[in-house]
Structure 1
């Protein structure tokens, strides 16, 4: 019986305080994200990771000492496995921490898969996320001299079930009062240069938001970007500055929707919940809500299933 291997790709996160520095080192060593000249990238990444780890450790202590992203991604994998059945084998491949891509590939080879489908948990495509994960997979693929067929799912930012999953999460968080909230969609920022080079990420974020807002015609909204990590120019407006602007306009009920994230990690649990929650309170916003990420929302898992089956059916 033929079996298809699903490589479920995500960023990964530290699973302990001791893992913070090596996780950051792996992140800053990725030339797709930080364009340091290659000959010095790893030494510079080591220095940056050592410096940032001390500060970042405080974030993770507030979050319980680790990122929940791995646990939540594994739950997504389990839910997708149940939906797909025994003709498929699903394995999690994290880009910057365990289980790494090579671990996922080894697991699927042990399962006897005849082909691979690369399924990123980045709904909007960027070379810095999906592209980097694909690149890492093919590095492993060539290293192991594999011959199985490989197919890729580049993005699904406009998939109807993905959109409906966000609509459901928004309504679950805000309840019947949802029409009285201003919606601030927050996505991970990128260096502006990458967008100018043709990366579709920003346009796909905007399309995702447009499709979600078709379900909320009475709500005002805007898009902002968070988590800048280097001194180059990044796409704006930044989320904290947008919160301040909305407060000056008199917004009192604000719902922040982390539209580019499907799992919780430091960008949501610390940056949005703690830092920006405090900022909103200081700026006079009376009701600040942060809509949770999709995680194993059944509609989202069904979207992933549909994507896989569409690829299998050609």
Structure 2
């Protein structure tokens, strides 16, 4: 009997405070994200992770001591498993912390799978996210039985994904007409975009398609989570918050578009740091729309995406 393995690919996050530094080391060791000369990449990653660990630990202390991403991705996998049925086996593969790709593949092959679908939990493609996860899979997969592999590159404009985003906003913001929509996405170095990475265009297209469902709403798109001195995509989300409030908008809905699970970027950067900034500037209402997680429409979208690629 044919059994298809589905790997949900995500970034992962530290599952304890003691995991913060090794998580950062794994992140900064990834040449797809940090383009340091390979000969010195790991020593530099060791130094950066040690220097950043204390500040980053504080984020996770505020968040309850760990990232919720693993549990949320597991719930997505469980919901998708129920939708797909017994002919499929869904597992999760994290890029920078457990369960790693090798652990996920071991789980799949115990089930006797004879085909694999790689489904990134990044709706918009970038070489730094989906591309990195695909590269890691290709490296690890060489040690396993060779079966056909289908790679889903992106679904930034998939109608059901857009519908899920729209419904999620309406469910969490019934009086959406009263708000300025401030979309926010993880930033990238401009140099990556200039080399042909489609992430910025796909993110802008996602926002355009969502806004079509909200007549006359005013909106903007900003980018967050810049690291290092190089030029990154702009405008920065925090500066956009300042400009929006100074322009007279007092009710702001912040909508993450490049995240489908909660991270430190949403739970700390948006919910703590940027919210405090907005309150200090006199905002009347600052609503952060939660990520999709296992929203039923999003799970339906993932199912449809898998079946269409098969």
Identify whether the pair has TM-score above 0.5, normalized to the shorter chain.
yes
Partner of 1:201: 199
Q: Which residue of 254, 260, 279 corresponds with 2:258?
A: 260
CA distance in 2, matches of 1:174, 1:251: 16
Partner of 2:39: 39
Alpha-carbon offset, residue 92 of structure 1: 0.2
Alpha-carbon offset, residue 67 of structure 1: 0.4
Q: Which residue of 291, 294, 297 corresponds with 1:293?
A: 291
CA distance in 1, matches of 2:262, 2:68: 6
Partner of 2:236: 238
Q: Which residue of 224, 227, 247 corresponds with 1:226?
A: 224
Partner of 1:249: 247
The alignment status of 1:210 with 2:216, answered yes or no, reads no
- 1:128 aligned counterpart, secondary structure: coil
CA distance in 2, matches of 1:231, 1:28: 15
Alignment of structure 1 residues 81-230 onto 2, 5 Å: 81-142=81-142, 144-175=143-174, 177-230=175-228
- Relative distance call for 1:98 and 1:145 in structure 2 (3 A) is closer
CA distance in 2, matches of 1:146, 1:195: 36
CA distance in 2, matches of 1:146, 1:200: 32
Alpha-carbon offset, residue 169 of structure 1: 1.2
The alignment status of 1:272 with 2:270, answered yes or no, reads yes
Alignment of structure 1 residues 70-81 onto 2, 5 Å: 70-81=70-81
CA distance in 2, matches of 1:304, 1:55: 35
CA distance in 2, matches of 1:8, 1:63: 24
Alpha-carbon offset, residue 224 of structure 1: 0.3
Alpha-carbon offset, residue 147 of structure 1: 1.4
CA distance in 2, matches of 1:157, 1:146: 32
CA distance in 1, matches of 2:22, 2:216: 46
Q: Which sits farther off after the overlay, 163-172 or 204-213?
A: 163-172
Runs of 4+ off more than 4 Å: none
Q: Deviations over 1:39-86 (max 9, x none)?
A: 111001011101111111111111000000000000000000000001
Alpha-carbon offset, residue 145 of structure 1: 4.7
Alpha-carbon offset, residue 146 of structure 1: 2.8
> TM-score, with normalisation over the residues of structure 2?
0.99
CA distance in 1, matches of 2:117, 2:227: 31
Partner of 1:20: 20
CA distance in 1, matches of 2:228, 2:80: 35
The answer for unaligned runs of 5 or more in structure 2 is: none
Alpha-carbon offset, residue 244 of structure 1: 0.6
CA distance in 2, matches of 1:270, 1:213: 26
CA distance in 2, matches of 1:229, 1:99: 25
For these two proteins, the number of residue pairs brought into alignment is 310
> TM-score, with normalisation over the residues of structure 1?
0.98
- 1:151 aligned counterpart, secondary structure: strand
The answer for unaligned runs of 5 or more in structure 1 is: none
- 2:294 aligned counterpart, secondary structure: coil
Alpha-carbon offset, residue 127 of structure 1: 0.3
Q: Deviations over 1:210-268 (max 9, x none)?
A: 00001001210010000011211100000000001111101100000001100001000
CA distance in 2, matches of 1:211, 1:86: 34
- 1:31 aligned counterpart, secondary structure: coil
Alpha-carbon offset, residue 311 of structure 1: 1.5
CA distance in 2, matches of 1:297, 1:145: 33
